[in-house]
A = this chain, B = another copy of it.
Amino acid sequence: MSLRRKSDEDTDRTPLPGTAHPLEVSPETEAALKLWVVLSRAQAAVSAHVSADVARHGLTLTEFAILEALYHRGAMLLGEVQRRILVSSGGITFLVDRLVAKGLVERQECPSDRRARYAALTEEGEAMIRRIFPAHAAMIERVVSGLDLPEQEEAANLLKRLGHSAASSDTKEVTFSNA
């Protein structure tokens, strides 16, 4: 094997490392890849705004999501919250611990299942979410205002279907219910 220097690109057509390989795929593949890219970028861009907004109140995005869920849905089992906001089981313990430490949430026993715990807002937590939610919602409205209302609804519709089909297309390890 000969070690090649980067400077001696001349007569040889073997693709050297560091040279570009423009994307050459079918239109279907290209559309799928592009959708994945713009989906990630749009989510990151919106997320950055939302994250910065809740950070002003000393909260992370995930913490806020928990508070909001508990406010709008009422007390929930930790596992329910976990599946709703999509974190690991260790993650939900960690997050609820932190919200308890901040005095915003409390754990409550579940009378019908002694393994389970409810997470519920404290009065302080409820007061906080009630106080910051309106400006928060207005801010999200501004951030997505690059699309008008019908476009937002159409995008939401498409994304909902995309999310559902992607979530249910469990590739491996999950039972493939072959009936």
Contacts and interface: CB of A to CB of B under 8 A. Distances in A.
What is the predominant secondary structure among interface residues of chain A facing chain B? Answer: helix
Contacts of A171: 49, 52-53, 139
Contacts of A43: 39-40, 43
A134 B22 CA distance: 14
B33 A137 contact: yes
A46 B39 contact: yes
A8 B158 contact: no
Interface in A94-151: 106, 108, 110-112, 118, 120-123, 125-126, 130, 137-147, 149, 151
Interface string A77-89: 1001001101000
A162 B155 contact: yes
B74 A152 contact: no
Interface in A6-59: 6, 8, 11-23, 25, 27-29, 31-36, 38-50, 52-53, 56
11 contacts: A12-B112, A13-B110, A29-B137, A29-B141, A32-B152, A33-B140, A38-B160, A41-B159, A52-B172, A146-B161, A155-B159
Interface of A: 3, 6, 8, 11-23, 25, 27-29, 31-36, 38-50, 52-53, 56, 70-75, 77, 80, 83-84, 86, 106, 108, 110-112, 118, 120-123, 125-126, 130, 137-147, 149, 151-156, 158-167, 169, 171-172, 174-175
